[in-house]
Structure 1
Amino acid sequence: MTMTNNKNSTAVKAPVMCVVGARPNFMKMAPILRALAAHVPPIPALLVHTGQHYDTDMSKKLFVDLGLPQPDINLEVGSGTHAQQTAEVMKRFEPAMDEHKPSCVLVVGDVNSTIACALVASKKNVPVAHVEAGLRSYDRRMPEEINRVLTDQIADRLYTTERSAADNLAREGIPAERICFTGNVMIDSLEASRPHARPPVDSLAAHGLDAGLVAGEYGVVTLHRPSNVDSAETLKSLLTVLGQVARDLPLVFAMHPRTRSNIERFGLQAMLDPARIAVLPPQGYLEMLGLMAGATLVLTDSGGLQEETTALGVPCLTLRENTERPITVEQGTNTMVGIEPQAILQGVSEILAGRGKRGRVPEFWDGRTAERIAADLHQWLGA
């Protein structure tokens, strides 16, 4: 579809309600809000933070790092089971919609807030736009996969990050006229933030850790998926592998609260050698960007890091059996290694031997995705 920024077209008068709930949403929404404001004519927007990401200090820091304005509405939902959290977001979002009467609700990604707000809007006959539509792991055991599939089914406008996403949507009966390929808005944030990324030595020093670990080659680790960290056997196996990797390559482990809690619950703290593995709390966006940009490799089960390492040209080993971002494997730097120790060690060995994937940056991962979304959104709302 051709997207135009028609300066003479009618201005959108009712606001677009832009929803964020958890950390990955912030990176996607920051450039979209800037693009809506910069569009000619400007597209009015209201930022709704559901409060699904309930670490207040980290949430505030991410807003600052990304240049996000303070939310116009904070629903302050907090934690809970998937059902509790989704239901609470719906209960609190509906009155906000009734008050502000938006032209549409724009949701990003695949967290509980995404499907919750999309459902409320759809039932009230308010158009829904979904950014990052059509990604599929085809693993229904992942709660995010359920959120992705259902949100796409009720969305009126679907913005995709890669062309293969349209095939996924077509197989699910979604008409092509509802789909618009705009590229990856996560990369907009990455490109805008690169000059401000925090040096890795500063990130370690800020927590009293040996900055010498990142003075040469090092790896970055993140683990948070329940399938990897909620089982004592699986988590112990992964920590054993990390200990083996750390003999050859020092590691910086940005540890998710869930992972830290389970390591303590299972009594596995002694498996992390502080001389070779620097354990950090969850990092701000600029800190994490600096750590990844300087890394020899990244070991992760995060979807977002698969994309960011591809954009940075850093080899990534994903500790999962599947990915909803196949383009990072087909064109980027990502290799799926699962959780079998030998496969992980083999992947690390190949990278350290200089045979890691460098890949290429996919189409429309160019830092201008938000502009394309804003131009199309204006045209679509006007129509």
Structure 2
Amino acid sequence: MKILTIIGARPQFIKASVVSKAILEQPGLSEVIVHTGQHFDANMSDIFFDQLGIPKPHHQLDIHGGTHGDMTGRMLIEIEQVMLAEKPDRVLVYGDTNSTLAGALAAAKLHIPVVHIEAGLRSFNMRMPEEINRILTDQVSEVLFCPTQTAIDNLQREGFTSKSAQVLNVGDVMQDSALFFAQRATIPEGFDLKSGFILTTLHRAENTDDPLRLGAIVSALNEIHKTVAPVVVPMHPRTRGVIAKLGLVLEARVIAPVGYLEMIWLLQHSGLVLTDSGGVQKEAFFFGKACVTMRDQTEWVELLSCGANVLVGADRDQIVAAARQNVNRVVIDDNQLYGGGQAASRIAAHLASL
């Protein structure tokens, strides 16, 4: 079986690092990797292939920039051409990016079965482009690999029990990656803080595209940096540009984007994670760190239920208060919420059985 895998953004590189390995080790499966180029900065893309041992992409499309419609449209055109040339048996997509949606739509139009890893997640916020991408991708997928029971429940409520699609809870491949690479974690070059800092990521469009929200978050981070613990921000290039354009001053410890192994080191040595990312919420949990999430909703509701995560939106006072309350708090995974690190092998085994 030839599987055509579409990737284009940091979380997808991390997931592919373990899934591609499992596919190659599974008899009867082969893989062709297509990198759309959605993350084009070397520190956001190439470094992940080098560090994680992902096979070099067979097709590099170099598509980035522009509006969501423009980017997705260009990807759709180019990915379709690759599929016509490669003639895969199945197309595998990850998560909720524009690359995900373009790959799923191109395959569905060509009547190639779509396999969606990280299916069934919902934030219930249709203003998030990621929510639109994940819903539409699920609707055209024939195999939906879900990371949690919550994701299964979401799909059942949407009528998937009466559809022919296969819906399976295999666990979360992000936990596979975190556990596999934990022993290879490396300190970022030139970084001199040893522990106790507050690791922060900030890139979600709902925050960076809203000057009021972004201003409140920057103000909160400045206060936390001064009065709680040092705030360390591996800064996404787009976020850095928006902050500069608005004339905001972020008084935290801003560093360049880091590779996955450096990110694991930062997670391991942090005293708290403060983020608007989806994946980083889980990564914090994998390494026993409390998380404060600067969003109004999260897909990972089980982390809220078990007390590992707290939602604060973009409210300055709530962000500061949550940081004070949760810094250096240890989180324990008593119930193996995300499958215990066996998701990739379950995925490969199921694909081989189709």
SS at 1:282 equivalent: coil
Alignment partner for residue 94 of structure 1, among 80, 101, 120? 80
Which of the residues 230, 246, 266 maps onto 1:266? 246
Please point out which of 194, 214, 226 is paired with 2:182. 194
Q: Does 1:314 align with 2:314?
A: no
In the other structure, the counterpart of 1:5 is none
Q: Secondary structure at the match of 1:299?
A: strand
SS in 2 for 1:19: strand
CA gap 1:73/1:204 in 2 versus in 1, 3 angstroms? closer
1:298 has 2:273 as partner: yes
Asked if 2 retains the 8 angstrom alpha-carbon contact of 1:332 and 1:359, the reply is: no
1:1-383 alignment, distance < 5 Å: 12=1, 15-39=2-26, 41-175=27-161, 178-199=166-187, 203=188, 205=190, 211=192, 214-247=193-226, 248-269=228-249, 271-272=250-251, 277-331=252-306, 333-352=308-327, 357-360=331-334, 362-380=336-354
% identity of equivalent residues: 38
* 1:3-55 alpha-carbon deviations (Å, 9 max, x no partner): xxxxxxxxx3xx1001101111111111111101111x241110111111111
The structure with more radius of gyration:
1
Over 3 Å counting, the alpha-carbon distance change for 1:78 and 1:217 in structure 2 is same
Residue 149 of structure 1 and its aligned partner are, at CA, apart by: 0.4
Deviation readout 1:351-378 (Å, 9 max, x if unpaired): 24x6665454634432221100001111
Which stretch of structure 1 is more off in the superposition, 165-174 or 80-89?
A: 165-174
Between the aligned partners of 1:234 and 1:350, the Cα distance in structure 2 is 22
Write out the 4+ residue segments of structure 1 that deviate beyond 6 Å after TM superposition. Answer: none
Distance 1:364 1:262 in 2: 34
Please tell me the residue identity of whatever aligns with 1:31: V
Normalised to the residue count of structure 1, the TM-score between the two structures is: 0.88
Q: What is the rounded CA distance, in whole Å, between the counterparts of 1:217 and 1:137 in structure 2? A: 30
Question: What is the letter of the counterpart of residue 263 of structure 1?
Answer: I
Pairwise CA distance, 1:154:
0.5
Structure 1 residue identity aligned to 2:151? A
State the one-letter code of the partner of 1:316. Answer: C
TM-score (norm 2): 0.95
Higher mean C-alpha deviation, range 332-341 or range 311-320: 332-341
**Do the aligned partners of residues 57 and 243 (structure 1) sit closer, same or farther apart at CA in structure 2, a change above 3 Å counting?**
closer
Contact 2:92/2:116, CA 8 A, preserved across alignment: yes
Q: Distance in 2 between matches of 1:204 and 1:253?
A: 15
SS in structure 2 of the partner of residue 288 of structure 1: helix
> For the residues of structure 2 that align with 1:84 and 1:56, how far apart are their CA atoms?
22
Kept in 1, the 8 Å contact 2:200–2:234? The answer is yes
Asked whether the equivalents of residues 21 and 113 of structure 1 are also in contact (C-alpha less than 8 Å), the reply is yes
Q: Unaligned 5+ residue runs, structure 1?
A: 1-11
Give CA-to-partner distance per residue, 1:66-103, whole Å, 9 cap, x none.
11110011112122211011111110011111111101
Partners in 2 of 1:349 and 1:364 — Cα distance? 28
1:279-333: per-residue Cα shift (whole Å, max 9, x none)? 1111111111100111100110000001111111101100011001112222362
Number of corresponding residues: 351
CA distance in 2 between partners of 1:120 and 1:21 (Å): 15
Q: Distance in 1 between matches of 2:147 and 2:326?
A: 27
Secondary structure at 2:78's aligned position in 1? helix
236 and 28 in structure 1: CA distance in 2 versus 1, 3 angstrom threshold = same
Q: Any conservation in 2 of the 1:310–1:360 contact (CA below 8 Å)?
A: no
CA distance in structure 1 between the partners assigned to 2:72 and 2:195 by the alignment: 44
SS at match of 1:63: helix
1:94-113 deviation per Cα after TM superposition (whole angstroms, max 9, x unaligned): 11111111010000100001
